[in-house]
Amino acid sequence: MTEEDWLRGRDPDGMLDRVEERFTARRWRLLACAAVRRRWEVIPAGPGRDALAFAEDHADDLPADAVEAWLDRLAAAVGPAADAARAAMLDLVRGADPAAAEQNTPVLTRPNQVAPAFPLFQAASRYAAQAVDASARHVELITDAVRALFGPPGRASVLRAANRAEEAEAARRYANGQANTALKLKHMADEAADRAATAKNKRLEESKAVEAVRKIDEGGGADRAADDDERIDREVRRAVARFLHELAGNPFGDYRFEPGWRTAAVLDLARTIDAERAFDRLPILADALLDADCDAEPVLRHLRGTEAHAKDKPAHARGCWVLDRILRPDDPLFAAAAKPASAKRPRRRGGPS
């Protein structure tokens, strides 16, 4: 791993190798938390979100009894939350008759389901049922992601949390996609039923319906599942690399930070931003540092969001390396920089060349 590799962020495994010796339990936990918080909108309000906030606030030291209590709360909450997600989706797609997808009884007994439109009604029900199932599954997946935050801090928990969070996001996206398709099919089915009522050639109308369903199925079939897996993998890697940039900065660069830059104003601001997760105020912290004559470019650039390698918009998280540089100067991450400026430290113990 070279500095260029690190900054490019394409090899999260190699990046983890590079910094793991200097990662405390806290930093591992916060890395996992950041990967889950990235999908905040997928976490149902309630114990899942509360547990994530708790894990962040107690990243230094998660008491064993608290871990157990949270795992119990999460276990108790997942069923009702999945039911609620299922019910909300059911409301949305009720018109497409999701229950019909599970019954083997012919649906043709209903008056508006003229036979030639039947394939469309049937497909609408099928997509609606898939949407309902997936919306419950996303809750189970994101709960699993949150659960991973309470596992032993380390690489495995980070990857599990990041994977589950991305899978949950994919499941929710899938649920919404299937719901849209279900409603579209229902609309097409209603129109086809109206047309078929007066059509001379009912067989032609039916073959049109079959063809329409086939086209839609093609767009959402096995290929899409494979694309989703690839996308999930890509997103996990991206999230891990991105938050390694956030939590570890650049281990090839310098973490230089003069004690004189830690003025009362700087400390105050850094503490508030950290406690309140008010990362939008980081540019103000950059100003305070400039007032203290700070000239460390990596620090200032990180706070202003003008790092050359950062392609995505800034994604600050609890454990932001600059905030920690200010508030936790003894963190082992900065070990090399804490030594007197005797130029570069030798390569880390036992590290590969």
The span of 75-83, 102-110, 249-257, 314-322 binding Zn ion (CB under 5 A) equals 314-322
* Residue with Cβ nearer Zn ion (30 or 232): 30
Residue 35 CB, shortest distance to Zn ion, in Å, is 15
Choice between 208 and 245, CB closer to Zn ion: 245
Binding mask 236-275 for Zn ion (x = CB under 5 A): ----------x-----------------------------
> CB-wise, 316 or 325, nearer to Zn ion?
316
Nearer residue to Zn ion within complex by CB, 161 or 320:
320
Minimum Å distance from CB 78 to Zn ion? 32
Nearer to Zn ion, 190 or 287 (CB): 287
In the complex, minimum distance from the CB of residue 323 to Zn ion, in angstroms, rounded to a whole number: 7
Residue of this chain nearest to Zn ion (CB atom):
320
Q: How far is the CB of 243 from Zn ion (least distance, A)?
A: 10
Applying CB under 5 A, what is the total number of residues that bind Zn ion? 3
Token readout for 74 is 């999460």
Q: Which two tokens stand for residue 72?
A: 């119990």
Question: Residue 316, interface with Zn ion (CB under 5 A)?
Answer: yes
Q: Which of 52, 165, 175, 320: binder of Zn ion (CB under 5 A)?
A: 320
Q: How far apart are CA 119 and CA 115, in angstroms?
A: 8
**Is the CB of residue 55 less than 8 Å from the CB of residue 31?**
no
Q: Which is nearer to Zn ion, 144 or 246 (CB)?
A: 246
Stretch that binds Zn ion, among 48-56, 116-124, 228-236, 318-326 (CB under 5 A): 318-326
Q: Which stretch binds Zn ion (CB under 5 A): 15-23, 77-85, 168-176, 311-319?
A: 311-319
User: Which residue, 236 or 320, is less far from Zn ion as judged by CB?
Assistant: 320
- Looking at the Cβ atoms of 108 and 290, the one nearer to Zn ion is 290
**CA–CA separation, 158 vs 150, rounded Å?**
11
For Cα atoms 54, 248, 285, give the angle at the middle one, nearest 5 degrees: 80
CB of 307 to Zn ion, least distance (A): 10
What is the smallest separation between the CB atom of 194 and Zn ion, expressed in angstroms? Answer: 58
Give the span between the Cα atoms of 74 and 134, in whole angstroms: 19
* 124 binds Zn ion, rule: CB under 5 A: no
Q: Which of 184, 192, 190, 186 is nearest to 116 (CA)?
A: 192
Q: Shortest Cβ distance from residue 50 to Zn ion (Å)? A: 24
Closest approach of Zn ion to the CB of residue 310, in Å = 10
Residue with smaller CB distance to Zn ion, 23 or 121 = 23
Residue 285 in the binding site for Zn ion (CB under 5 A): no
CB of 5 to Zn ion, least distance (A): 21
Binding footprint of Zn ion on the chain (CB under 5 A)? 246, 316, 320
